[in-house]
Amino acid sequence: MAEQQLQNWVLMVSAQTPTNIAVIKYWGKRDEDLILAINDSISVTLDPAHLCTTTTVAVSPAFNRDRMWLNGKEISLSGGRYQNCLREIRARASDVEDENKGIKIAKNDLQNLHVHIASYNNFPTAAGLASSAAGFACLVFSLAKLMNVQEDNGKLSAIARQGSGSACRSLYGGFVKWIMGKEENGSDSIAVQLVDEKHWDELVIIIAVVSSRQKETSSTSGMRDTVETSALIERRAKEVVPKRIIQMEEAIQNRDFPTFAQLTCADSNQFHAVCMDTSPPIFYMNDTSHRVIGCVEKWNRSEGTPQVAYTFDAGPNAVLIARNRKAATLMLQRLLFHFPPNSDTDLNSYVIGDKSILKDAG
């Protein structure tokens, strides 16, 4: 009986991780297993209030295998990406001791226990809103807490990267750079924080949810096809992006919105151009996305200086970064005018920040 009681304990940790949106995009790998990129990238981490993953991880002697539930549905953990993250975290476990709670678990015992993982996204999964970024970052972060891993966020970012490349950037707030690194084993392919979330806090991010449907071409297979077939990708990775990374870091440091906006829009457009240059061509944006670009470009031109930057990931949803709250409000007014609720365009707008959601993502 006493032994049975001993088998009944559960050690549990929960964490919440926001997603991030790249302003200089990662697209293409030089190593598929370790997930090593062909260029550096820079992203902004979003406010967790609206787009984040919440994950609870638990170990118990009562669990007889590793299991995971995503949005309430059990999913397989057999994929290499989950296994790599679990292996790397387990290898770094240390003894857990909490005198107040009367908990003492030796590192070896922790490493041999099975884990249960429950993860929820508060936004559409796999719809081009970087759900895998928040998901793997949160998984790695919560497992590291559970197993008392003593590594800093840089080292954890290299583990999250092995779940999904963009995930490494969600370990930090503010603006974050993923350094592609040079080492074959990926040890120097980590994320670093460029500035924290207070540095440029007048920016307001609006997500215009054009479609919450799952995308047809996953980022993983899309970028593989691009690397194999696009005639433009090498020039992008080797010549264009390295220059943009330097300019973007400078624009962020100086809070130089016109340069920031110009680089963000240009890089999004080039990313979608290399997608179209892929065989077979990949179309992530749709007519509504194109109309949103037209609307922003026209307004920026009429103001004489950019008010809003747009960027689109592997899906049709627009991420709009406004220079301040006033510009965000005016942008929303324009969106509501051009894409009125209940019209035939299926556009739903969110404000990310301390404003409320305008219309829910159907």
Look at residues 246, 222, 247 and name the one whose alpha carbon lies nearest to residue 165: 222
Single out the residue of 56, 84, 148, 220 in contact with ligand DP6 (rule: CB under 6 A). Answer: 220
Tokens 């550096």 belong to 40
Nearest distance from C-beta of residue 212 to ligand DP6, angstroms? 16
Of 25-33, 100-108, 232-240, 351-359, the segment contacting ligand DP6 by CB under 6 A is 25-33
Chain positions 306 to 335 lying near ligand DP6, rule: CB under 6 A, are 313-314
Beta-bridged to residue 74, according to DSSP, are 69
Report yes or no: 194 and 339 within 8 Å, Cβ to Cβ.
Answer: no
Q: Which is nearer to ligand DP6, 132 or 317 (CB)?
A: 132
Residue 48 interacting with ligand DP6 (CB under 6 A):
no
Nearest distance from C-beta of residue 290 to ligand DP6, angstroms? 17
Chain positions 5 to 24 lying near ligand DP6, rule: CB under 6 A, are 22
Nearest distance from C-beta of residue 284 to ligand DP6, angstroms? 8
Nearest distance from C-beta of residue 302 to ligand DP6, angstroms? 29
Interface characters, 180-199, with ligand DP6 (x: CB under 6 A): --------------------
114-121 and 36-37 beta bridge pairing: unpaired
Chain positions 52 to 111 lying near ligand DP6, rule: CB under 6 A, are none
Nearest distance from C-beta of residue 82 to ligand DP6, angstroms? 12
Residue 219 interacting with ligand DP6 (CB under 6 A):
yes
Q: Which is nearer to ligand DP6, 113 or 140 (CB)?
A: 140
Look at residues 126, 71, 130 and name the one whose alpha carbon lies nearest to residue 352: 130
Q: Can you say how many angstroms the Cα of residue 97 is from the centroid of all Cα atoms in its chain?
A: 33
> How distant, in Å, are the alpha carbons of 191, 221, 225, 304 from that of 258?
25, 34, 33, 10
Phi and psi at 196, nearest 5°, equal -85, 180
Residue 41 interacting with ligand DP6 (CB under 6 A):
yes
Taking the C-alpha atoms of residue 186 and residue 192, their distance in angstroms, rounded to an integer, is 15
Show the CA angle centred on residue 153, arms to residues 150 and 155, nearest 5°: 75
Single out the residue of 17, 18, 26, 274 in contact with ligand DP6 (rule: CB under 6 A). Answer: 26
Q: Which is nearer to ligand DP6, 105 or 163 (CB)?
A: 163
Residue 138 interacting with ligand DP6 (CB under 6 A):
no
- Angle between helix axes 241-253 and 257-276 (nearest 10 degrees) is 150
Interface characters, 152-181, with ligand DP6 (x: CB under 6 A): ------------xxx---------------
Residue 132 interacting with ligand DP6 (CB under 6 A):
yes
Contact footprint for ligand DP6 (CB under 6 A): 22, 25-27, 35, 41, 130, 132, 164-166, 219-220, 313-314
